[in-house]
């Protein structure tokens, strides 16, 4: 199961991230990465036609949205220690407004979300999931963003990786269940075959722990979605720096249970949010508008 990062174009600079006056995630055991900015996102108008297509079971229960809130600026815990904020949190609320249903957003470990969608515990997974053909076998996706993978290292490090092959002979920290984990492990095998030095892949249950591994020197590089890597750097008080360019650009998708009947309503809601400008306002609020798309797509992965 993969989370992937992918950004269209270059890796965002640290200055593109938005939260102000915040603690860096994971450096000192902090549970959150700051608070929402003062940007006001207008309430999205309900679309009666789309609302009528929402399955009756969802109309009664609302959208139960699972997200791993350790992945700023996409989804993370605010300074109050409990509220989930970020791009995905804002989008989830806006989708509910368009569809005229309540939204309950819940923090969950990333690699448990898709199985929980299959079991019926949640009906939406909105947590920086990369849409892949493998994942489409068990869930459907509404693609809503583009991102790329990126690196961050300790400031002053002589190691400045760029691209997957640069991992040969080095240690890398990744969150469990992400595409970065898969890509790092695949590259480790390639490095071994080529005799270019072993790759030590350190996996952690959340992004905070992966960040701590880099800051402590246990890992030489952190590997995350490009906009997330940029945000980590921007919040590190100069302890981290980005390295190299973003690569492996691919779509993020909202994960939905197969057969539930939510895929087309959610697709329509994202389309409406794009057309009325609320989608772009949300992305600009978090400084990640470089990953904006012009229209959503259902199961648009090419690999």
The reply to whether 299 falls in a domain is: no
Based on the fold, state whether residues 154 and 239 are members of the same structural domain: yes
Query: 104: domain range?
Result: 46-146+249-290
Q: Give the tens place of pLDDT for each residue, 123-156.
A: 999 999 999 999 999 999 999 999 999 999 999 9
What sign does the dihedral 233-108-220-189 (CA atoms) show? negative
Q: Give the tens place of pLDDT for each residue, 185-227.
A: 999 999 999 999 999 999 999 999 999 999 999 999 999 999 9
Based on the fold, state whether residues 87 and 212 are members of the same structural domain: no
Cβ contact 66:1 at 8 Å: no
Domain count, the chain: 2
pLDDT of 36 over the 90 cut: no
The reply to whether 261 falls in a domain is: yes
12, HSE (Cβ side, Cα atoms, 13 Å): 32
Measure the CA angle with vertex 222, ends 220 and 227; round to 5°.
150
């Amino acid at each position: 199961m993969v989370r992937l990062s992918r950004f269209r174009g270059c890796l965002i600079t640290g200055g593109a991230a938005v939260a102000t006056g915040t603690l860096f995630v994971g450096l000192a055991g902090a549970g959150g990465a700051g608070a929402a900015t003062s940007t006001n996102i207008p309430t999205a108008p309900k679309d009666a036609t789309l609302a009528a297509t929402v399955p009756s079971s969802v109309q009664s229960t609302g959208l139960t949205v699972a997200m791993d809130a350790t992945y700023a600026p996409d989804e993370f815990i605010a300074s109050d220690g409990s509220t989930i904020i970020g791009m995905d949190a804002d989008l989830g609320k806006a989708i509910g407004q368009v569809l005229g249903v309540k939204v309950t957003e819940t923090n969950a470990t990333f690699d448990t979300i898709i199985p929980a969608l299959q079991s019926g515990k949640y009906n939406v997974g909105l947590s920086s999931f990369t849409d892949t053909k493998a994942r489409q076998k068990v869930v459907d996706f509404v693609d809503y963003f583009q991102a790329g993978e990126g690196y961050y290292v300790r400031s002053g490090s002589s190691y400045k990786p760029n691209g997957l092959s640069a991992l040969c002979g080095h240690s890398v920290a990744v969150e469990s269940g992400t595409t970065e984990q898969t890509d790092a492990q695949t590259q480790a095998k390639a490095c071994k075959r080529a005799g270019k030095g072993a790759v030590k892949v350190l996996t952690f249950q959340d992004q905070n722990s992966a960040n701590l591994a880099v800051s402590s020197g246990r890992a030489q590089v952190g590997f995350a979605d490009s906009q997330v890597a940029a945000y980590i750097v921007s919040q590190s008080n100069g302890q981290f720096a980005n390295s190299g360019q973003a690569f492996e650009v691919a779509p993020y998708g909202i994960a939905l249970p197969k057969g539930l009947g939510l895929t087309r309503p959610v697709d329509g809601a994202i389309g409406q949010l794009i057309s009325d400008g609320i989608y772009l306002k949300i992305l600009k609020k978090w400084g990640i508008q470089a990953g904006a798309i012009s229209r959503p797509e259902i199961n648009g992965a090419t690999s």
